[in-house]
Chain A
């Protein structure tokens, strides 16, 4: 994928002023080697306490293990439909969401299991939703792609590519209308970054000074189409330029880097009450959805192997081992603990009752039932 990016940059004539706003790491480090080294080593420039590092590690492991079970549920027929796992992108959501303030609205697309777990939603309820159970977070009405939690200010869980971006700007509109200082965190992928409604939304966000961060999680594959085949300028953050929105590209494979950048950006948005566009480079280890069996259609085994070296969990584990925050045994214990926790959640969800037939009519309207019958 690195090659793809580099190639695209060369192909595209980028003006010097735009070049300046490229990858933050690129401006910080003098050489490609140093840049690569910085990528591989999380670093702890925020001087996070050991306990916090362990928390981030556990959060990422929880997502990875949960997603393994999600795919098991799909393969075994307990989950249906479309199901998209977050493997490889854990550093992005854990790093970013560790910086949000309670009450900050969060909205995302359909690859949404990770956000739900990080925000504190019960894995049993999330798995129950994936399995279409009555106690699922959306009462079995949404499924894998439509997780919601009013309690955690999590507004979904949306599955029309790009469709939720205007809504995200609307969440920020309410902040301004009421004179609050919440920041809205609007996640979407590189596929969505080509949708027209995103640009309508960016225009309004900037025009009206709305406190929203457009968080483009760029895993460089829009379903099965590589970045260089779907984006005229593969540095997609440059598109914010035309809307007078500050923008940058950051690395999403190091949870600590993401956190450091997120703290800075969110603080800036809260202070300025202006939108911001951040492109977070990441890698999707699995296919687009659970039914995507042939990744060779869009990338090579070598690419995957290279990316595996930048696995956000692995990077943090290496760092913690080097700095003595954890020893091998500690890491094994975490994985084992989490596997046991998630296996319990999986079993509990699988044993739960399905929704009652009469529930099919509930929640269409707030106060009336729709017409009944076939």
Chain B
């Protein structure tokens, strides 16, 4: 079926809630108000206040309460109205959620998902435009995914909800309206996406996307463009333009930041001998730096040029639209860097 990224997330929530009574949704304005970005639209009517829990505006409390519920076997899916607000809950997420399994010597596990839009949208300015995925990927104990397509949003969310470790599921506000084919039921139409999560409890006709698997969105031979979430689309746009110039670019959609599918990234770079990593977060110290460092450590002898890196400008997100657009990495920024790397 062809549906939007937003509907794909909702579809995954519905199917998982129907499959497992322990799955419930909790967050700000997700029920009666239908969700700030309408991801949870109509779910309150369908499941009621018990399983679609409207909360006060209190992120640390929400995460902590969800964690306590998870410790007793429930599987909460927390909506962060925007991932920028997860900063309020950092102590809960990092000091509590991420560490309990380890600190308890494996006695307790925390099966919960924290999902919501991350990254810049349209003039939301400095406090609502954070890309948080790199911050979370830095933390041992958290798994972090950032889907770019409706199919991945659907398949990765199902995997996230079934995972016994805590998962940060970061969406992108500019992708909610993007449409795409989502395999559901028995339909495995999209062969570029590896089906099956290996979850024994899932039925055989269940489409999920496993963690730790990058996707090659476009094959190429001259340069690897590596990104995730919204930047995977920027990679595709740039690759198309490079194609017109006679350059064959390969696009690697990282999808899963933690665990990271290093081997797919390395294989691509060893084939093309050139790489540019792009990420929306601040360029300085961001997740793309980790990918670039890994490529340098592992593919040094295969590189014909230094690894290129494109990231957001190192400033708080400005409000003025022209300045905002300047901050968000664009196709042109990527093309410029790619041409530099191509020499």
Contacts and interface: CB of A to CB of B under 8 A. Distances in A.
Contacts of A156: 100, 103-104
B91 A174 contact: no
A160 B96 contact: yes
B149 interface: no
A149 interface: yes
Contacts of A158: 96
B123 interface: no
B212 interface: yes
A366 interface: yes
Given A163-B92, A177-B50, A141 B65 contact: no
A298 to B, nearest CB: 26
B103 A146 contact: yes
Interface string B245-257: 0000000000000
Contacts of A166: 60-65, 67-68, 92
A37 B95 CA distance: 45
B208 to A, nearest CB: 15
B140 A200 contact: no
Given A160-B91, A177-B50, A364-B141, A169 B68 contact: yes
A163 B99 CA distance: 13
Contacts of A323: none
A149 B55 contact: no
A173 B68 contact: yes
Interface stretch (B70-78, B271-279, B302-310): B70-78
Residue of B60, B62, B164 with most partner-chain A CB within 10 A: B60
B61 A207 contact: no
Contacts of A172: 68
A146 B104 contact: yes
Interface stretch (B29-37, B105-113, B186-194): B105-113
Task: List 5 tightest A-B contacts by C-beta distance, closest first.
Answer: A170-B68, A166-B64, A139-B105, A200-B61, A174-B72
11 contacts: A138-B107, A141-B102, A142-B105, A155-B71, A169-B64, A169-B68, A170-B64, A171-B72, A200-B56, A200-B58, A365-B143
Interface of A: 105, 107, 136-142, 146, 148-150, 155-158, 160, 163-175, 177, 196-197, 200-201, 203-204, 207, 362-368, 370-371
